[in-house]
Amino acid sequence: MRMGKKMKKLKWIKGYILSVLAIVLICFNIGAVTTKHKESTAIELNVKNNYNVLVISSYNEKNIRTTNNIKGLKKYFENKKDYKVNILTEFLDIKNRNDINYIDKFIRLLQVKYEKSPIDYIYTVDYEAFNILKEVVTSKESIFYQTPLIFSGVDTDTALLKSKDEYITGSVFGENIYKLFNLILYLHSNVEKINIILDESKYCNFIKDEINEVVKTHSRDDIELNFIQSNYINEIVEKISADDNALNTVNIIGGEYQYTNNEYLSSETTISVLKKCLYSPIYSIDETYLGKGIVGGYISNQEDIGTNIGKTIDKLINKQTNSINRVVTKQKEKCYIDYESIYEYDINPANLPKGIIVINRSPFELLLPKNIKYIIRLTIVWSILIVSVSFYFNISARVTRRKEKREEKLAKEREKLRSDYIINISHELRTPLNIIMNSIKLIENNIDNKNYVKSKLNNVTRNTNRLLKLVENIIQIQKIDLGVQKLSLDKCNVVEVVEEVFIAIVPYAKEKGIEVIFDTEEEEIISSIDIEKIQRVILNLLSNGIKFSKSYGKIYGNIRQLGKNVIIEIKDEGIGIPKDKLNEIFHRYYQVDSSLSRVNEGAGIGLSIVNDIIELHNGNICVDSNVGEGSRFIIKLPILKTNKQVVNLSERLNPFLNNVEIEMSDVIK
Ligand code: ADP
């Protein structure tokens, strides 16, 4: 029994669990079914995520207004994520083939072309395209029957829709013409005639009617309207008459133009052709001409129009219906003025109405009347000129002042050198003269002492020589300065010429315990030189070498040929010359130690004469030296070849040897 009860209880629990399981399963199952059902509904709802919009233009694909318009439309749909819009474009190019047959064929072609890829929306960008497509979407036979039609570039009257056309909507022209007319009157109050240049499109005919209407109802209905209308530019030009260029004439242009071969002119070309025969300002309501030479006008931006049409289509898509709650919008227009044209046609910028957009104006250009701008420019130019001139004078005054200062400094330096020189010369003159005077007195007093008299006469001779050397040098310098110092060239063996001087000074060097070594690899180097002057140079360098050497030093000489030059080198082991003085020593009157208390005698003109003589030979001299180690002078003389006879030095009367004693007079004391 107990067992039986227990069994019953278990069965009941089992049944309970099973039924709970079943309920859970059923619930899940139903849930699954419901979810599936929901999914399928969602798919059905999202089935249309790809829309075809057929854009129709009555122009051809080069028409800028159409391309800008489509650009705006495409831009609008570019970033749409929940659906895709394919924009298909067809150009009627109606101007070239405007007959019923052609239009009929075009429509039939469209039907065939889009039969398999149905069009969801049709957008007509202009007047003609709308008129044609309006017929198509209202025709029961057409595959486009009741396809939503959106339009732009149409006037209010044309767009006037019947209540049954509930699938047609779009945007109509703004008040561009009316506003442009007022703008023209505002900027050209004396205007008497307006030329209106148009092509023969329906759109241009509409403009014609509109202008007539505007003027008729305006207080300035006296203005003469001259319509110049043709599709061809040559006909337009022909129709422009002389009085169309009268002072009080203004022009309006619309449409597009062709050459006689039907090729279209670009808007720039159209304006430039017109400007050759029209000298009065041109305005437009057409974006294509803006910035291409016209003054400006009230213009609706085609890209904005395209974007707004995109918004309308977007609204239609989101409503998932073809039925349009028809709100026809007006295209917005803005007033644009070209900066360049303001001045081209003498328009007073002060008269420009508020809110206009000035194009082609660089950030630094002023929007001021021509004369004021001219005055400002003139002022700026003058200011720049004045600043530049004063700057120039300031700079040149400074340069002159600096130059003057430099010259003043140089003059002072020269003056100092000159007075130093005079002091030196006086000193150089006085010292030997004193010695001579003293020696003479001593001789007088000791006239009987033969040896004493002889030694004092030696002093007299040496110091007379010093005086002679000095006078000789002064004469040399004067000659060089006056430019009368000429070379007397002789063809000779330069080695021999130089060697002769080395031999001549040996006894003087010996007196100071200095050894003279002359060395050469060449026996003979033939050139034309002024023998006496070159010997004077060598002698001067050697006497300096001895003069500025301590006792028991050495003096080396070397001569060699190097290419087309002869190189003469004289080296001593004397006191040397400080590096910063190396260039100075060749200057006149310069002495490294110019103090009157200096050890060595000399007037500081020997090396300047040396330099002048070498330069007269077209050669050069340089020096290298280290203080305490000695100096090395290097002469470079170009070898000069002549047909003359080589001078035999040993046969020649040598006036130079007499000079050695004189030259050495301030060396050996
Ligand atoms: P000076 O009659 O004074 O010797 P120079 O024109 O011959 O005139 O030389 C100019 C100066 O150059 C000398 O006063 C001396 O200071 C320096 N000088 C020339 N030759 C030597 C040399 N061999 N060693 C050292 N100093 C020299």
Closest CA to 267 of 281, 253, 252, 250: 253
The pLDDT assigned to 154 comes to 87
Atom of ligand 1 nearest to the CA of 549: 24
The pLDDT assigned to 39 comes to 35
Burial state string for 425-452 with b = 16 or more CB within 10 A and e = fewer than 16: beebeeebeebbeebeebbeeeeeeeee
Whole-number Å distance, alpha carbon 421 to ligand 1 midpoint, is 14
The pLDDT assigned to 307 comes to 94
The pLDDT assigned to 33 comes to 35
Closest CA to 652 of 522, 490, 472: 490
The pLDDT assigned to 526 comes to 96
The pLDDT assigned to 370 comes to 75
CA distances from 454 to 390, 507, 640 (A): 78, 20, 48
602 CB less than 6 Å from ligand 1? Answer: yes
The pLDDT assigned to 325 comes to 56
Whole-number Å distance, alpha carbon 65 to ligand 1 midpoint, is 95
Whole-number Å distance, alpha carbon 306 to ligand 1 midpoint, is 98
Quick one: tokens of 286?
């057409």
Atom of ligand 1 nearest to the CA of 607: 6
603 CB less than 6 Å from ligand 1? Answer: yes
The pLDDT assigned to 5 comes to 47
591 CB less than 6 Å from ligand 1? Answer: yes
Cβ atoms of 632 and 611 within 8 Å: the answer is: no
605 CB less than 6 Å from ligand 1? Answer: yes
Sites in the chain below the pLDDT cut of 50: 1-8, 20-47, 597
Choose one of 427, 585, 609 to mutate for the ligand 1 pocket test, by most ligand atoms within 8 angstroms of C-beta.
585
Rounded Cα gap, residues 145 and 159, in angstroms: 18
Whole-number Å distance, alpha carbon 500 to ligand 1 midpoint, is 22
Atom of ligand 1 nearest to the CA of 591: 14
The pLDDT assigned to 461 comes to 87
Cβ atoms of 47 and 83 within 8 Å: the answer is: no
Name the strand (E) or helix (H) holding 474: helix 450-482
The pLDDT assigned to 162 comes to 64
The pLDDT assigned to 569 comes to 97
Whole-number Å distance, alpha carbon 638 to ligand 1 midpoint, is 25
Atom of ligand 1 nearest to the CA of 608: 6
Q: Report the nearest-CA residue for atom 4 of ligand 1.
A: 602
Burial state string for 380-408 with b = 16 or more CB within 10 A and e = fewer than 16: eeeeeeeeeeeeeeeeeeeeeeeeeeeee
Q: Report the nearest-CA residue for atom 3 of ligand 1.
A: 604
The pLDDT assigned to 614 comes to 96
Whole-number Å distance, alpha carbon 202 to ligand 1 midpoint, is 108
206 CB less than 6 Å from ligand 1? Answer: no
